[in-house]
Structure 1
Amino acid sequence: MKIVEQVQELRSTLSEYRQAGLSVGFVPTMGNLHAGHLALVDAAHEKCDKVVVSIFVNPMQFAADEDFDTYPITPAEDEKALIEHNTALLYRPQRQDIFLSDLSKQTRVEVPELSEILCGLSRPHFFSGVATVVNTLFNRVQPDIAYFGKKDYQQFLVIRKMIKDLAMNLKVVGIETVRLNNGLAMSSRNNYLSGQEINQAAGLYRVLQHVARICQNNSHTYNEIEGLGIRELKEIGFAIDYLSIRRQSDLRTPERTDQNLIVLAAVWLGKTRLIDNLEFSLASS
């Protein structure tokens, strides 16, 4: 596996791939890699000749009171895992290589509407920070296909819309969430949880499953079902950011005629914020 930090070396290596007629799959990450990230790498191998992974902890997507300074960084373990999964190229830029000016003066990419709901309400800085840096990485790597985990479902839709609106010449693929045996979605922030909290946190997915089943039984309004889900989460011990039933396609509030739905939630367990979702479909009437 080749490791590069400078954009010139990145472009030189990618140029060699292109001249050889090789396709490029890209997996942007913030490191501290786990089985969820590696599933993206494996998926990229299925469709692409070369797989490029980036590791960059993006300060633009963190607010001042969030965990940027304590975000887990594990370079040696990440390199070992990527080598084991046959990654061709690891791009590990430094902050000054991504942001050519002070963050307050940096050009930003905004994806309206999708960025302003759900996680965007409590983290209004987040999706602009993600879109801006992912756009920069896309411009540098110029992949054929980019891979994102669907645990961050809203982020996946934001990136997909950015690609469409800016007429980018690449495809984006969402990969299903990888979970622990107890159902908890894999996340780097799980490192913040104690053993007891890991077991407690698994209750989030169980509630999402229950919410989906109630929706499929068609016996309550969506507002009533959301209220039930929130009560169950509180009983487990979560502090609630949101739990919401939305359309899969655009995260708008569903009508009764909509069949492909998703329930999304963001909660706090102690000082750790967790997100998860579950896609489901209703029987046609």
Structure 2
Amino acid sequence: MSITIARTRAELAAAVGDATVAFVPTMGALHDGHVQLLKHARPLGEVLVASIFVNPTQFAPGEDFEDYPRTFDADLERCAEAGVDVVFAPAVETMYPSGFDTTITVDPGPLGSILEGAARPTHFRGVLTVVAKLFGLVRPDVAVFGEKDYQQLTLIRQMSRELALDVEIVGCPTVREADGLAMSSRNIYLTADDRVRAAAVSAALRAGVAAGPEGADAVLDAAHAVLDAAGITPDYLVLTNPELGDPEPGQEARLLVAARVGKPRLLDNCALTIGATKLGS
């Protein structure tokens, strides 16, 4: 199939027209997980738009903005595989025409200051700002995001709802390698030895799920034990409710982990139901 590449606002508007739009924002370096996101989105609109834009404002000084993998030609092949109609690949000047210093930004609020927000204080302001800009340009009816970045997904849902952006936000289950490792563009930074150790991150989540009926403390203990055995000290390993608040015994919960394994910092999470024992009781 033929893909239209739009690099300007005018080209994007001409390519989309008046059709209903399903949208998947990406930073490129597409892998099988992205392909699944795109295929998930394909039937949700008349036109499927994918954006490829490495957003400078979500990288703090010293992070990997300059080194972030950029594989545009290969990304186009992935998009074709998934049935994408339009690839929006704007320049930085298109997304930030006034520059960075004068751009009006989206404040992520209290939810943006915990977990990833605590480790990367400017990250979610950059994410929400660029997503809001992309929504304004693409005008999607529905946008699809992966559940791997669960805090990001939760914040984007909140932003769309509270700012009345009128975009339906759909979460797509995390796509995994055969050993359970969540697919990520940053997995290419893993050495062979670290790649073996990295499987413990998802294994810890599975151990936590298995311990769910025994209560919240058992969930965290089981997950920590797997990480400890692999020599991995997490930045955080937490149990929350689906909205990232305090978990309730007997209810659906979310187990989230972030850990550095070699160079890359790996994120993962899973849903589970916890037993009736209160956390810390």
Instruction: Name the structure 2 match of 1:24.
Output: 21
How much has 1:106 moved relative to structure 2?
1.6
Instruction: Name the structure 2 match of 1:242.
Output: 236
Say which is worse superposed, 118-127 or 6-15, in terms of deviation: 6-15
Distance 2:149 2:161 in 1: 19
Instruction: Name the structure 2 match of 1:273.
Output: 265
How much has 1:231 moved relative to structure 2?
4.5
Distance 1:230 1:121 in 2: 20
Instruction: Name the structure 2 match of 1:156.
Output: 153
Task: State the secondary structure of the residue aligned to 1:77.
Answer: helix
Task: State the secondary structure of the residue aligned to 2:211.
Answer: helix
Identity among equivalent positions (%) equals: 37
How much has 1:205 moved relative to structure 2?
0.5
Distance 1:232 1:122 in 2: 23
- The answer to whether the Cα contact below 8 Å between 1:267 and 1:274 also exists between their aligned partners in 2 is yes
**Which letter does structure 2 place at the counterpart of 1:243?**
L
> Which of 248, 258, 269 matches 1:255?
248
Instruction: Name the structure 1 match of 2:12.
Output: 10
1:75 is the counterpart of 2:96: no
**Which letter does structure 2 place at the counterpart of 1:32?**
A
Task: State the secondary structure of the residue aligned to 1:40.
Answer: helix
- Seen in structure 2, the aligned counterparts of structure 1 residues 117 and 262 have a Cα distance that, compared at 3 Å, is same
Q: Which digits, 9 at most, give the CA deviation of each residue in 1:8-40, with x for residues without a partner?
A: 11112222xx1xxx3210000000001111111
How much has 1:283 moved relative to structure 2?
6.3
Distance 1:25 1:47 in 2: 6
Instruction: Name the structure 2 match of 1:119.
Output: 116
Say which is worse superposed, 108-117 or 127-136, in terms of deviation: 108-117
Distance 2:219 2:38 in 1: 36
Distance 2:163 2:10 in 1: 24
**Which letter does structure 1 place at the counterpart of 2:149?**
D
> Which of 43, 48, 53 matches 2:45?
48
How much has 1:80 moved relative to structure 2?
1.1
How much has 1:83 moved relative to structure 2?
1.4
Q: Which digits, 9 at most, give the CA deviation of each residue in 1:81-103, with x for residues without a partner?
A: 11122210000001111112232
Alignment TM-score, normalising by the size of structure 1: 0.92
- The answer to whether the Cα contact below 8 Å between 1:244 and 1:265 also exists between their aligned partners in 2 is yes
**Which letter does structure 2 place at the counterpart of 1:262?**
R
1:139 is the counterpart of 2:132: no
Distance 2:62 2:196 in 1: 27
Distance 2:261 2:136 in 1: 37
- The answer to whether the Cα contact below 8 Å between 1:111 and 1:161 also exists between their aligned partners in 2 is no
**Which letter does structure 2 place at the counterpart of 1:5?**
R
Instruction: Name the structure 2 match of 1:172.
Output: 169
Q: Which digits, 9 at most, give the CA deviation of each residue in 1:134-157, with x for residues without a partner?
A: 000000001111000000011000
- The answer to whether the Cα contact below 8 Å between 2:212 and 2:273 also exists between their aligned partners in 1 is no
